[in-house]
Amino acid sequence: MIIDILVAEIGSTTTKVSAFDKINDQKPLFLGQGSAPTTVLNGDVTTGLKKAIEDLKYRLKTEELEAKESFACSSAAGGLKMSVHGLVYEMTAKAAKEAALGAGANLHLLTAGLLTPENLTAIQDLNLNIIMIAGGVDYGEKYTSLSNAKAIARLRLNIPVIYAGNIENQEAVKMAFLENGQEKYLYITDNVYPKIDVLAVESARIVIQNVFENHITKAPGMEKVREMITKTIIPTPGAVLKTAILMQKAIGDLVVADVGGATTDIHSVTEGSKEVQRQAMSPEPFAKRTVEGDLGVYINRDRLLATTTPQILAKELRISETELFTILDKYKALPNLKQIPVVQYLTKIALCMALERHVGRYASIYGSNGKSSIPEGKDLTNVAYIIGTGGALSRLPSGKKILGEILIWRDPRLLLPPPSAKILIDRHYIMAAVGAFCDKYPEASVKLMKDSYGI
């Protein structure tokens, strides 16, 4: 069987392969999906990938499967591990952070100001994939980002370093890396904060994803995946955000909730309301991603279980505490029928906690005229759609019901989506897969996603 596109998605707990055909026709087709447990801990992610392909062939009822083009996205082995270093937290450091998260990175260290000896030790110990240096608006403060660049160059880490700070420093940064034999690891891009209250993160996002592919994650066996894939490999969260940005143009402002086994990601693509924009004191990116590395329904389930008690959870699920402990003792990445109610309950907790961290809010300030409130953070009040993806929302029952509870959550301090927002589910679980090729096939990608959403 020959198909147009095969996409491998290597996650923290599950590896999936999705098949697409008739990609240039009026009605592109999603043929099906195979899956298997990710085998990074066994020493080779391709073991799980090959099993997922076998599962796909079984589902498609074919013994042979050949793709004209193959793409991949990955978040295995901790995904894309980055550190970000800026000048002022609320300005350049925040801008660099938004660029990193939007590209699909997992942020392991964020600093503002001059790097301390303790910061440099942490950078050495974190086993990072990429480092980003920012700082200073263009033709503004130069000392901090240049000093930080020199300090990182002297570490001689032999990993990619992206400079996205004051453009006046670019030549001096190049010289610092050349003097330390690190010039081949240096990537220079546009300043992520070129002017006061201006975020310009898109160029940096593209560079991060290109660097990710060129210096693919250190998950065992990933070099074999590179040999198996004919096209690009990008970070999975970055692929989801690519699809979200594409779909915002097609259907309107949206929020995407991606609840997984290890993390919960929230992606929002919206400018927000004009009223909130007029009052806001600092800019927010049009496309924003937050990743909550402590909120996952499998690897990080204990963090979610700690928010309740066995007595309350058993009562909520209408089972005995003994039965609950038996389920938790045999808890698996791919849940069985008895485990599903527990996973759904934890999904709801993860979703609410992640959204509360993502969404903006009204903060109180005190001035000459007394107390007043100003909005800060991401404004979701203009969102038209809330979309669920990830195994917990796409694959399990009650995904729509869980997302619907967001719409009845009315906290006047939070800039939450309106009750009129519509709930959609990525029924085919293909947002990441489509994001891997949507730049090349945008029209087909929109049609495939509308079909998955049931539009």
Taking only the tens place, the pLDDT of each residue in 280-328 is: 878 888 999 988 878 888 888 998 999 999 999 999 999 999 999 999 9
pLDDT of residue 405: 85
Residues whose CB falls within 8 Å of the CB of residue 371, separated by 6 or more in sequence, listed in order? 364, 365
Note whether 56 and 93 are same-domain residues: no
Amino acid at 229: I
Higher pLDDT, 52 or 397: 52
Average of pLDDT values for 417-424?
95
Residue 334 reports pLDDT greater than 60: yes
Which residue range is the domain that position 332 belongs to?
Answer: 250-426
Residue 361 reports pLDDT greater than 80: yes
Higher pLDDT, 373 or 171: 171
CATH, residue 31: 3.30.420.40
Residues 274 and 287: their CA atoms lie apart, in Å, by 16
CATH, residue 88: 3.40.50.280
Average of pLDDT values for 373-380?
89
Residues whose CB falls within 8 Å of the CB of residue 392, separated by 6 or more in sequence, listed in order? 259, 260, 297, 343, 344, 347, 350, 399
Note whether 98 and 72 are same-domain residues: no
Asked if residue 241 is part of any domain, the answer here is no
Higher pLDDT, 218 or 429: 429
Note whether 136 and 185 are same-domain residues: yes
Residue 221 reports pLDDT greater than 70: no
Pick the range with the lowest mean pLDDT from 237-251, 279-293, 341-355, 420-434: 279-293
Note whether 192 and 114 are same-domain residues: yes
Asked if residue 438 is part of any domain, the answer here is no
Note whether 277 and 421 are same-domain residues: yes
* Chain-centre distance for alpha carbon 30: 23
The tally of domains found in the chain comes to 3
Asked if residue 452 is part of any domain, the answer here is no
Asked if residue 44 is part of any domain, the answer here is yes
CB 229 within 8 Å of CB 7? no
Q: Which two tokens stand for residue 393?
A: 């929302």
Note whether 268 and 398 are same-domain residues: yes
What's the pTM? 0.84
Q: Which two tokens stand for residue 83?
A: 């550190």
Note whether 41 and 84 are same-domain residues: no
Residue 217 reports pLDDT greater than 60: no
pLDDT digits (tens, 9 = 90+) for 377-406: 899 999 999 999 988 899 888 899 999 988
